[in-house]
Amino acid sequence: MWMRVKSVTLKVVLIGALCVVGALGVGLLRAQPAAEPEPTVEERVAAEVSRLQSGDLGARIMAARELATMGPAAIEAVPSLVIQLRDENAKLRGYAAIALGEIAPQDDAVKGKLLMLLFDEYLGVRIAGMQAVQKIHARANALAAAAAE
């Protein structure tokens, strides 16, 4: 049949039709569902706070790590993170301290809780607590300098 078709236009139309049929066959032209809108920062923080309160240690550690990446936007998570500073798991205590350092709340009670980590039996937790306090002080100094300008 191919050799009998003399018109170039007809050959192009036939090739195009075959491509469309092939694409439909593999689903390339199927309608795609609309993408879900990205959750807001507040929704993400709420989801991570919920994970912090779960019974799954791995989920709680991952939640603390995720909250650390959100920085000051995760200020609503501070009370839940402070609770994690008393957890029996050293890794969770350390990640909670790191998250608090990144969020850098200007709250003396939080700084006091972090300073208590200096007496933790695990070196990594002590270091995380010290670094968190340093970051909170650095942010406070930066805010004071910005306010003075």
User: Using CA atoms, how far apart are residues 117 and 112, in angstroms rounded to an integer?
Assistant: 9
72: tokens are 């000051």
User: What is the band of 16 on the pLDDT scale with cuts at 50, 70, 90?
Assistant: low
Average pLDDT over residues 19-28: 58
Mean pLDDT for the chain? 87
Confidence check: pLDDT of 9 > 80: no
CA distance 58 to 69: 17
Distance CA 40, CA 138 (A): 27
Q: How far apart are CA 77 and CA 44, in angstroms?
A: 11
Chain segment 101-147, per-residue pLDDT in tens: 999 888 889 999 999 999 999 999 999 999 999 999 998 899 889 99
pLDDT band at 81 (very low <50, low <70, confident <90, very high): very high
Q: What is the DSSP letter of 40?
A: P
Can you tell me the mean pLDDT for 18-40?
A: 67
State the pLDDT at residue 105: 84
